[in-house]
Chain A
Amino acid sequence: MADAGTSGEARAEGGDVGGPLLDVRAVGVTVGGVRAVEHATLSLREGAFASLIGPNGAGKTSLLHAISGFYRPSAGEIHFGGRRIDGWPPHRVAASGLVRTFQRGRVFARLSCLDNMRLGARDHPGEQFVANLARPRARRRREAEVTSEARELLAAVGLGPKADDLAGTLSGGQRKLLEFARALMCRPKLVLLDEPMAGVNPTTGRQVMERIAQLHAAHSLTVFFVEHQLDVVMAMSDHVVVMAEGRVIKSGPPEEVRSDQAVHDAYLGSRRRREAVGRRGDEALAARAPGRDEAGLR
C-alpha cells in the first residue's frame, strides 16, 4: 500500500540540477485524529516555480503545514537544503531559509507595512533583548540596512506609498503581496505559498501571481504554491504536483499532468463522492465554494 514508486505512487522529480532543494519522503500527517496526509513523496529542484494541486481534502494545506513546521509529521522525513527539518519548530524552519505564507494573507495588522517588512529580516541584533540594550550602534546600523531593503521590496510589489499605513487597513490582495514581500526579507531559498489567489478577485489574484513570478526571477527563488485556479497553475508553473486523498498521485510538467488519466479521475471522483455524501457538517466549510477545484480541468 505504501510502496513508493508503484503505479499510484509516482515519485515527483522537479529536475536533476544539483540534487533536490526540498525532499519530502513518505510523509504522513495526522490532524485531530484524522489522517490528512497518508504518504506524500515529492522533491523540488532549486529555482523551480512549482505548484501543488488537488481536490478539496487532498491534504495539500496539511502537507504545507508539515513542511513549514506547524504540524509534526507522524511518519516520513523532510529534507531541506541537505538537512533533515521534520520536527523542527516553525521559527527554526523559517530561519533556515524556508518561509511560508498563509491562505488568509496574515499580516501584523496593527503595525505599519514598513514594520511588517522589517520583521521579516534575519539576524537583527535589536531583536535580542540584551543586544538591543547593550549594542545600540549595531542595532541602529542593522535597522538602517533593513529599512532600506524593506522600502525597496515594498516598492517592488507596488506597496511603496503604503509604507506608513497600518497593515490592517490593506485590501486582501495587498495583504497577500505584503506577506510575500515580508517572506522575501529574510532572503529565503524556498517560499511556500498557500493559495496566493484565494479570497481576492480574479484580476487582483492574477496581478498578485505576476508580481510573485517577477520576484521569483529577480531573486533566484524557489517557489512552491498551493492553488485552486488550475488555468493559472498550468500557465505559470514549470512543475505541478497533484495530490488526492492524502497521496501524491502525479508530478511533472504541466502538459504531462493535464493529460494524465489518474488526475482526471481524482478530480471527477472527488466531485462524485461529494455529491453522493452531500453536505455533511464537517464539509460545510470546505464546500462553500463548490466547483472551484474543477474550474481548469473542465
Chain B
Amino acid sequence: MTGLLQLVFDGVVVGAVLALAAAGVSLVYGGLRIINFAQGDYMTLGAYVALGVSSGLRLGMVAGVAAATLCTSAFAVVLEPVLWRPLRRARAGVLSLFVTAVGLSLVLRQGILFAAGGGFQQYRVDAYSAWQVSGLRFPTEEVVAGAAALAAILTLATLLSRTQLGKALRGLADSPELTAISGIDPDRLAVVVWALAGALAGLSGVLLALVETSFDTNLGWDQLLTVFCAVVLGGIGSTYGALIGGIVLGLVMELATWSGFAGGVPASYQLVVAFVALVAVLLVRPTGILGRSRIL
C-alpha cells in the first residue's frame, strides 16, 4: 500500500509539471493554430537558464526558477514578431507553421548543445534531503517542484476563468472567427499567448529538471511526446483539458508500474502505457476529455 501511495505522489508531481508544458502547447494551438514542436526545447532552455543563474551566477534556486520562467517567456515573445507574425500575414497553413516549429526546435536544441555542451548537469541542491513519513519518502525537490507546479496550475486556471483576457483566450480556441469579429487585436493576443506559453514551458522545464535531479539537452525533447499526449488526452485547444490531461497521464504512467497491478509494467514501457491510455480515451471520446465535438 505504501508503494501505491508513493507512486500516486510521484505521479502527481510529474503530472503537474508536464501539465504546465501541455497547457502552453494548448494555448498556442488554440490561439494561433501552431503545433509548437519546439515546446520541449523551450523547456530545456528554461532548465539551462536556471542552471546558469543558480549555479553559474550563484544566485540560488529561487532566482533560477524565476529567471527560467521570465527568460523563456521573453524568448518566446521575441520570436513572435520575428518569426510567427510574418507567417500569419502570409496566411501560412498549419503545415508551414508546423515545419517552422520543427526547424525552430532543431535550432534551439542544437544551439543549447553548442552553448552548454553535452553531458549531464545538476543543480546545486541537496539531492538526498527528503522527508520520511511512515515509510513514504518525499524528496525535498520533488515536494517543492510539485507544490510550485500546482500553484502555477491554480494561478493559470484562475487567470483563464476570472480575467477578461483569459476568457478571450478560451474563446479563441473554440472559435477563431468569433474572436476575429469581437475586435481583439490578433497581434497583441499572439504576444500574450507566447508570453504565457513561454513562461509555462520555462517553469515546467526547470521543475522537471529538479524532479529528475540530473538532465541534459534532451530534457524537454524527451518529454515532448508525453506533453502532446497530455494535450490530446485533455482535448486539443482546451487549456483546462491539458492541465487535467497532464496530471492524469503522470498518474497513469506511475501507477502502471505498481506491482499490485498484474506485477506492474516495466518502467521502460511507461511511454507505451501513456499511449495506450490516450488511444483508449480517444476511442470513447474522439475529442479528448474536455474537447468540443465538431459542429458543421
Contact = CB atoms under 8 A, between A and B. Distances in A.
Contacts of A31: 295
A284 B177 CA distance: 11
B266 to A, nearest CB: 41
B292 A32 contact: yes
B178 A284 contact: yes
A70 B296 contact: yes
A70 B296 CA distance: 8
B181 interface: yes
A250 interface: no
A71 B295 CA distance: 9
Contact of B178 (A32, A71, A281): A281
A65 interface: yes
B295 A32 contact: yes
A70 B181 CA distance: 28
Contacts, number: 16
B295 A284 contact: no
Contacts of B177: 285
Interface residues of B, number: 9
Interface of B: 171, 177-178, 181-182, 292-293, 295-296
A288 B182 CA distance: 12
Given A32-B293, A71-B296, A281-B178, 13 more contacts: A31-B295, A32-B292, A32-B295, A65-B296, A70-B296, A281-B171, A284-B178, A284-B181, A284-B182, A285-B177, A285-B178, A285-B181, A288-B181
Nearest to A282: B178
A288 B178 CA distance: 11
Nearest to B167: A281
Contacts of A71: 296
Nearest to B292: A32
Contacts of B178: 281, 284-285
Contacts of A285: 177-178, 181
Contacts of A32: 292-293, 295
